Protein backbone atom coordinates (compact mmCIF):
# COMPACT_ATOMS: atom_id res chain seq x y z
CA UNK A 1 0.00 0.00 0.00
CA UNK A 2 1.21 3.50 -0.81
CA UNK A 3 0.24 7.12 -0.24
CA UNK A 4 -0.23 9.50 -3.17
CA UNK A 5 -0.10 13.19 -2.28
CA UNK A 6 -2.11 15.51 -4.51
CA UNK A 7 -1.07 19.01 -5.54
CA UNK A 8 -3.28 20.46 -2.78
CA UNK A 9 -1.80 18.17 -0.13
CA UNK A 10 -4.53 15.54 0.25
CA UNK A 11 -3.27 12.00 0.87
CA UNK A 12 -4.79 9.23 -1.25
CA UNK A 13 -4.60 5.49 -0.58
CA UNK A 14 -3.15 3.51 -3.49
CA UNK A 15 -1.99 -0.01 -4.25
CA UNK A 16 -0.05 -1.66 -7.09
CA UNK A 17 -0.01 -5.38 -7.90
CA UNK A 18 0.50 -7.85 -10.76
CA UNK A 19 2.78 -7.67 -13.76
CA UNK A 20 2.49 -6.57 -17.37
CA UNK A 21 0.82 -3.61 -19.03
CA UNK A 22 0.00 -0.71 -16.71
CA UNK A 23 -3.72 -0.38 -15.91
CA UNK A 24 -5.12 2.24 -13.51
CA UNK A 25 -8.59 1.57 -12.08
CA UNK A 26 -11.23 4.18 -11.15
CA UNK A 27 -13.83 2.91 -8.72
CA UNK A 28 -17.53 3.73 -8.67
CA UNK A 29 -19.59 5.91 -6.39
CA UNK A 30 -19.30 8.82 -6.03
CA UNK A 31 -18.41 8.64 -2.36
CA UNK A 32 -17.36 4.98 -2.25
CA UNK A 33 -13.96 3.29 -2.34
CA UNK A 34 -11.93 0.82 -4.38
CA UNK A 35 -13.66 -2.58 -4.59
CA UNK A 36 -11.43 -3.94 -7.36
CA UNK A 37 -9.46 -6.55 -5.41
CA UNK A 38 -11.08 -9.32 -7.49
CA UNK A 39 -10.28 -7.47 -10.72
CA UNK A 40 -6.64 -7.06 -9.71
CA UNK A 41 -6.43 -10.79 -8.94
CA UNK A 42 -8.16 -11.67 -12.22
CA UNK A 43 -5.56 -9.69 -14.20
CA UNK A 44 -2.51 -10.37 -12.02
CA UNK A 45 -0.65 -12.34 -14.71
CA UNK A 46 -1.47 -9.85 -17.46
CA UNK A 47 -1.43 -6.31 -16.03
CA UNK A 48 0.24 -4.21 -13.40
CA UNK A 49 -2.90 -2.90 -11.73
CA UNK A 50 -2.99 0.37 -9.79
CA UNK A 51 -5.97 0.87 -7.48
CA UNK A 52 -6.74 4.00 -5.47
CA UNK A 53 -9.41 5.50 -3.24
CA UNK A 54 -10.77 8.83 -4.44
CA UNK A 55 -10.36 11.87 -2.21
CA UNK A 56 -12.27 11.89 1.04
CA UNK A 57 -13.36 8.29 0.51
CA UNK A 58 -12.43 4.87 1.84
CA UNK A 59 -8.82 4.67 3.04
CA UNK A 60 -7.89 8.08 1.65
CA UNK A 61 -7.59 11.12 3.88
CA UNK A 62 -10.90 12.63 4.95
CA UNK A 63 -11.06 16.15 3.59
CA UNK A 64 -13.46 18.95 2.70
CA UNK A 65 -13.35 18.36 -1.04
CA UNK A 66 -13.63 20.11 -3.37
CA UNK A 67 -16.10 17.65 -4.89
CA UNK A 68 -15.77 18.38 -8.60
CA UNK A 69 -14.85 16.29 -11.63
CA UNK A 70 -12.04 18.73 -12.38
CA UNK A 71 -10.53 18.09 -8.94
CA UNK A 72 -10.88 14.31 -9.26
CA UNK A 73 -9.25 14.39 -12.70
CA UNK A 74 -6.32 16.25 -11.12
CA UNK A 75 -6.16 13.61 -8.37
CA UNK A 76 -6.04 10.84 -10.98
CA UNK A 77 -3.17 12.69 -12.63
CA UNK A 78 -1.41 12.77 -9.25
CA UNK A 79 -1.69 8.96 -9.18
CA UNK A 80 -0.15 8.82 -12.66
CA UNK A 81 2.75 11.04 -11.61
CA UNK A 82 3.31 9.11 -8.37
CA UNK A 83 3.94 5.92 -10.35
CA UNK A 84 6.12 7.70 -12.92
CA UNK A 85 3.83 6.99 -15.86
CA UNK A 86 4.02 8.91 -19.12
CA UNK A 87 0.94 7.06 -20.39
CA UNK A 88 -1.49 4.55 -18.92
CA UNK A 89 -4.50 2.43 -19.72
CA UNK A 90 -7.56 3.41 -17.71
CA UNK A 91 -10.49 1.29 -16.54
CA UNK A 92 -13.42 3.01 -14.88
CA UNK A 93 -16.57 1.43 -13.46
CA UNK A 94 -19.95 3.19 -13.10
CA UNK A 95 -19.20 6.74 -11.81
CA UNK A 96 -15.53 5.79 -12.25
CA UNK A 97 -16.21 5.20 -15.97
CA UNK A 98 -17.38 8.81 -16.17
CA UNK A 99 -14.26 9.95 -14.31
CA UNK A 100 -11.94 7.93 -16.57
CA UNK A 101 -13.66 9.32 -19.66
CA UNK A 102 -13.34 12.86 -18.30
CA UNK A 103 -9.61 12.30 -17.73
CA UNK A 104 -9.15 10.91 -21.24
CA UNK A 105 -10.94 13.92 -22.74
CA UNK A 106 -8.71 16.31 -20.78
CA UNK A 107 -5.44 14.40 -21.24
CA UNK A 108 -5.69 12.10 -24.28
CA UNK A 109 -1.91 12.22 -24.73
CA UNK A 110 -1.52 10.41 -21.38
CA UNK A 111 -3.93 7.54 -22.11
CA UNK A 112 -3.15 4.42 -24.17
CA UNK A 113 -6.63 2.91 -23.94
CA UNK A 114 -9.89 3.47 -22.07
CA UNK A 115 -12.06 0.65 -20.73
CA UNK A 116 -15.51 2.01 -19.89
CA UNK A 117 -17.43 -0.43 -17.65
CA UNK A 118 -21.12 -0.13 -16.70
CA UNK A 119 -21.35 3.61 -17.33
CA UNK A 120 -24.45 5.56 -18.32
CA UNK A 121 -23.29 7.31 -21.49
CA UNK A 122 -22.92 11.02 -22.17
CA UNK A 123 -26.57 11.98 -22.52
CA UNK A 124 -28.63 13.70 -19.82
CA UNK A 125 -29.69 11.84 -16.69
CA UNK A 126 -33.20 11.52 -18.12
CA UNK A 127 -31.79 8.95 -20.60
CA UNK A 128 -31.50 6.35 -17.85
CA UNK A 129 -32.48 7.40 -14.34
CA UNK A 130 -36.26 6.91 -14.58
CA UNK A 131 -36.07 3.30 -15.80
CA UNK A 132 -33.24 2.63 -13.35
CA UNK A 133 -35.38 3.78 -10.42
CA UNK A 134 -38.31 1.64 -11.57
CA UNK A 135 -36.06 -1.40 -12.01
CA UNK A 136 -34.43 -0.80 -8.64
CA UNK A 137 -37.72 -0.70 -6.74
CA UNK A 138 -39.08 -3.69 -8.65
CA UNK A 139 -36.01 -5.82 -7.96
CA UNK A 140 -35.66 -4.89 -4.29
CA UNK A 141 -39.43 -5.25 -3.95
CA UNK A 142 -39.19 -8.91 -4.91
CA UNK A 143 -38.76 -9.30 -1.14
CA UNK A 144 -41.13 -6.76 0.51
CA UNK A 145 -39.36 -7.13 3.87
CA UNK A 146 -36.03 -6.11 2.30
CA UNK A 147 -37.61 -3.12 0.60
CA UNK A 148 -39.26 -2.00 3.84
CA UNK A 149 -36.03 -2.45 5.77
CA UNK A 150 -34.07 -0.46 3.16
CA UNK A 151 -36.59 2.39 3.36
CA UNK A 152 -36.33 2.53 7.17
CA UNK A 153 -32.54 2.57 7.52
CA UNK A 154 -30.45 5.79 7.48
CA UNK A 155 -28.54 6.48 4.27
CA UNK A 156 -25.12 6.01 5.86
CA UNK A 157 -25.96 2.57 7.31
CA UNK A 158 -23.98 -0.47 6.12
CA UNK A 159 -27.00 -2.77 6.05
CA UNK A 160 -28.88 -0.28 3.87
CA UNK A 161 -25.97 -0.18 1.42
CA UNK A 162 -25.84 -3.98 1.23
CA UNK A 163 -29.57 -4.16 0.52
CA UNK A 164 -29.23 -1.42 -2.10
CA UNK A 165 -26.23 -3.03 -3.79
CA UNK A 166 -27.92 -6.43 -3.87
CA UNK A 167 -30.08 -5.26 -6.79
CA UNK A 168 -26.95 -4.99 -8.95
CA UNK A 169 -26.63 -8.75 -9.47
CA UNK A 170 -28.56 -10.92 -11.89
CA UNK A 171 -28.01 -13.99 -9.71
CA UNK A 172 -30.70 -13.30 -7.13
CA UNK A 173 -29.76 -16.26 -4.93
CA UNK A 174 -26.25 -14.90 -4.35
CA UNK A 175 -27.06 -11.18 -4.57
CA UNK A 176 -26.86 -10.49 -0.82
CA UNK A 177 -23.62 -12.47 -0.58
CA UNK A 178 -22.04 -10.48 -3.42
CA UNK A 179 -23.27 -7.17 -1.96
CA UNK A 180 -21.94 -8.10 1.47
CA UNK A 181 -18.48 -8.63 -0.01
CA UNK A 182 -18.63 -5.12 -1.50
CA UNK A 183 -19.18 -3.75 2.02
CA UNK A 184 -16.31 -5.68 3.60
CA UNK A 185 -14.37 -3.81 4.81
CA UNK A 186 -16.82 -0.99 5.45
CA UNK A 187 -15.51 2.58 5.29
CA UNK A 188 -18.78 4.51 5.17
CA UNK A 189 -20.25 6.38 2.21
CA UNK A 190 -19.12 10.00 1.77
CA UNK A 191 -22.61 11.38 1.16
CA UNK A 192 -21.38 14.97 0.72
CA UNK A 193 -19.11 13.87 -2.13
CA UNK A 194 -21.88 11.75 -3.65
CA UNK A 195 -24.43 14.57 -3.56
CA UNK A 196 -22.10 17.20 -5.02
CA UNK A 197 -20.72 15.13 -7.90
CA UNK A 198 -24.14 13.78 -8.89
CA UNK A 199 -25.48 17.34 -8.94
CA UNK A 200 -22.58 18.40 -11.16
CA UNK A 201 -23.31 15.53 -13.56
CA UNK A 202 -26.95 16.56 -13.85
CA UNK A 203 -25.84 20.07 -14.81
CA UNK A 204 -23.15 19.13 -17.32
CA UNK A 205 -23.78 15.68 -18.82
CA UNK A 206 -25.65 15.87 -22.11
CA UNK A 207 -24.06 19.19 -23.14
CA UNK A 208 -23.32 19.55 -26.89
CA UNK A 209 -19.63 20.23 -26.16
CA UNK A 210 -19.31 16.82 -24.51
CA UNK A 211 -20.51 15.08 -27.67
CA UNK A 212 -18.04 17.13 -29.74
CA UNK A 213 -15.18 16.28 -27.40
CA UNK A 214 -15.96 12.56 -27.60
CA UNK A 215 -16.07 12.70 -31.41
CA UNK A 216 -12.53 14.10 -31.34
CA UNK A 217 -11.13 11.54 -28.87
CA UNK A 218 -8.28 9.83 -30.70
CA UNK A 219 -7.68 6.69 -28.65
CA UNK A 220 -9.15 3.17 -28.51
CA UNK A 221 -12.14 2.71 -26.19
CA UNK A 222 -13.69 -0.56 -25.04
CA UNK A 223 -17.20 -0.37 -23.60
CA UNK A 224 -18.08 -3.32 -21.35
CA UNK A 225 -21.71 -3.84 -20.32
CA UNK A 226 -23.45 -6.39 -18.16
CA UNK A 227 -26.60 -6.93 -20.20
CA UNK A 228 -28.67 -7.41 -17.02
CA UNK A 229 -27.63 -4.07 -15.49
CA UNK A 230 -30.78 -2.35 -14.20
CA UNK A 231 -29.55 0.90 -15.74
CA UNK A 232 -30.77 0.73 -19.37
CA UNK A 233 -27.81 -0.08 -21.59
CA UNK A 234 -29.34 2.00 -24.35
CA UNK A 235 -28.11 5.07 -22.45
CA UNK A 236 -24.55 4.13 -23.42
CA UNK A 237 -25.45 4.27 -27.13
CA UNK A 238 -24.86 8.03 -27.01
CA UNK A 239 -21.21 7.46 -26.13
CA UNK A 240 -20.73 4.60 -28.57
CA UNK A 241 -22.09 6.68 -31.46
CA UNK A 242 -19.82 9.62 -30.65
CA UNK A 243 -16.50 7.79 -30.31
CA UNK A 244 -14.39 7.33 -33.46
CA UNK A 245 -12.46 4.25 -32.23
CA UNK A 246 -14.76 2.09 -30.10
CA UNK A 247 -15.61 -1.55 -29.51
CA UNK A 248 -18.40 -2.82 -27.27
CA UNK A 249 -18.73 -6.11 -25.38
CA UNK A 250 -21.99 -7.12 -23.71
CA UNK A 251 -21.87 -9.95 -21.17
CA UNK A 252 -25.34 -11.52 -21.32
CA UNK A 253 -25.58 -13.01 -17.82
CA UNK A 254 -23.99 -10.19 -15.83
CA UNK A 255 -25.33 -7.17 -13.99
CA UNK A 256 -23.67 -3.92 -12.93
CA UNK A 257 -20.46 -5.59 -11.70
CA UNK A 258 -19.72 -7.87 -14.65
CA UNK A 259 -16.41 -9.23 -13.30
CA UNK A 260 -18.34 -10.81 -10.40
CA UNK A 261 -20.89 -12.71 -12.50
CA UNK A 262 -18.83 -13.39 -15.64
CA UNK A 263 -15.15 -13.24 -14.66
CA UNK A 264 -14.02 -15.20 -17.72
CA UNK A 265 -15.84 -12.97 -20.19
CA UNK A 266 -14.75 -9.83 -18.37
CA UNK A 267 -11.09 -10.89 -18.30
CA UNK A 268 -11.12 -11.76 -21.99
CA UNK A 269 -12.58 -8.36 -22.89
CA UNK A 270 -10.08 -6.40 -20.76
CA UNK A 271 -7.06 -8.40 -21.91
CA UNK A 272 -8.03 -7.84 -25.54
CA UNK A 273 -8.15 -4.09 -24.93
CA UNK A 274 -4.75 -4.07 -23.24
CA UNK A 275 -3.19 -5.89 -26.19
Q: Sketch out the chain's domains with CATH numbers.
A: 2-125+187-274 (3.40.50.1820)
Which pTM value belongs to this model? 0.97
pLDDT for 88-139, tens place per residue?
999 999 999 999 999 999 999 999 999 999 999 999 999 999 999 999 999 9
- Specify the pLDDT at position 168: 98
pLDDT for 148-199, tens place per residue?
999 999 988 999 999 999 999 999 999 999 999 999 999 999 999 999 999 9
- Specify the pLDDT at position 82: 97
- Specify the pLDDT at position 155: 87
Angle (CA) 105 225 151, round 5° = 100
- Specify the pLDDT at position 179: 98
Q: What is the DSSP string of 62-83?
A: P------HHHHHHHHHHHHHHT
Using an 8 Å Cβ cutoff, are 213 and 238 in contact? no
- Specify the pLDDT at position 19: 95
pLDDT value at 57 more than 90: yes
Tell how far CA 147 is from the center of its chain.
25
Q: Chain-wide mean pLDDT for the chain?
A: 97
- The average pLDDT across 253-267 equals 98
pLDDT for 199-217, tens place per residue?
999 999 999 999 999 999 9
- Specify the pLDDT at position 156: 87
Q: How far apart are CA 13 and CA 51, in angstroms?
A: 8
Helices 144-152 and 158-165 cross at an angle (nearest 10°) of: 140
Amino acid sequence: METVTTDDGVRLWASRSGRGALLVLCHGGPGLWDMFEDVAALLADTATVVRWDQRGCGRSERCAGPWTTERFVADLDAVRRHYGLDRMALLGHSWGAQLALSYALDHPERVDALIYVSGTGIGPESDWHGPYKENFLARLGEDPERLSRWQDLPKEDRERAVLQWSVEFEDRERALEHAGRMADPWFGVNTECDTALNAESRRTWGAPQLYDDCRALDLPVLIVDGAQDIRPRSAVDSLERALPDVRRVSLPEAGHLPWVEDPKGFREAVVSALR
